[in-house]
Amino acid sequence: MDKRKMKYLPHKTIERLSQYRRALLLCQANGKTHIFSHEIATIQHITAVQVRRDIMLIGYTGTLRKGYNIADMISLIGKILDSEKVQNIAIIGMGNLGVAITKYFSGKRTKLEIAAAFDVNPVKIGKKYSGVECYHINQIIKIIKEKDISIGIITVPSTETIIIKNILVKSGIKGILNYTPKPVNVPDDVYLEEYDMTTSLEKVAFFVKMH
């Protein structure tokens, strides 16, 4: 799978590849070596056609009547999603959410690493969270340069979102994942992803109500 082709993978396919990989890793841990498209589909609540289509797009082929080789697929998805060298991540805001993310994520992917945490609370500074050291927020620019961090996760109170976003942009960050409910604007060369739990919850509530 060459780089030219990867660029044109649909966004939704990128998301699903990440999900497939997690599902496949679990299956592998359970001792499975092969898997059918309809099995992946059931796990992910999608159709088998969609799974096969995504797999087609990344240029992998399974074995007729035997399914897909799990190890091969994990490795191929890694070639697509992962960077060759480790991508370092900073997490800003060590409240419950920041700690939850750090705890959940640390050690999960070899090519993605939470390299630093930041907060303003003196009690937290110097402490380690799941092995990640917490620095004072006024160190962000320095540490980001030192540790070659390219991605920032914002988990501060939403009153601080914009300030932090500006610092991150100034520090030359390449991607931001904003978990606060305050949407931000970033320059074109910074990739931005935002998630607000309220949207998901209100959506569930809406469809429950409509039943």
Partner DNA sequence: AATTTATTGTTAATTAATTAACAGCAAAAG
Partner DNA sequence: CTTTTGCTGTTAATTAATTAACAATAAATT
Cα–Cα distance, 45 to 170 (Å, whole number): 41
What are the Cα distances from residue 189, in Å, to 14, 185, 186, 199?
19, 12, 8, 26
- First CA to last CA across the chain, in angstroms? 43
Judged by CB under 7 A, the number of residues near DNA is 25
Site residues for a second copy, 189-208, by CB under 8 A, read: 189, 191-208
What does 188 interact with, of DNA, a second copy, none (CB < 5 to 8 A by kind)?
A: none
Asked if 48 touches DNA (CB under 7 A), the answer is: yes
Shortest distance (Å) from residue 65 CB to a second copy? 25
Asked if 11 touches a second copy (CB under 8 A), the answer is: yes
Asked if 159 touches a second copy (CB under 8 A), the answer is: no
Token pair recorded at residue 146: 């030192």
Shortest distance (Å) from residue 203 CB to a second copy? 6
Cα–Cα distance, 180 to 81 (Å, whole number): 25
Cα–Cα distance, 151 to 127 (Å, whole number): 21
Asked if 45 touches a second copy (CB under 8 A), the answer is: yes
Cα–Cα distance, 74 to 92 (Å, whole number): 30
The single residue among 73, 100, 116, 123 that binds a second copy, judged by CB under 8 A, is 100
Asked if 211 touches a second copy (CB under 8 A), the answer is: yes
Strands 128-129 and 34-35, sheet pairing: unpaired
3-state secondary structure 113-124: EEEEEEECCCCC
Site residues for DNA, 65-94, by CB under 7 A, read: 65-68
List residues binding a second copy (CB under 8 A): 6-7, 11, 14-15, 18-19, 22-23, 26, 42-45, 80-83, 87, 89, 95-97, 99-101, 103-105, 108-109, 111-112, 150-151, 153, 174-177, 181-183, 185, 189, 191-211
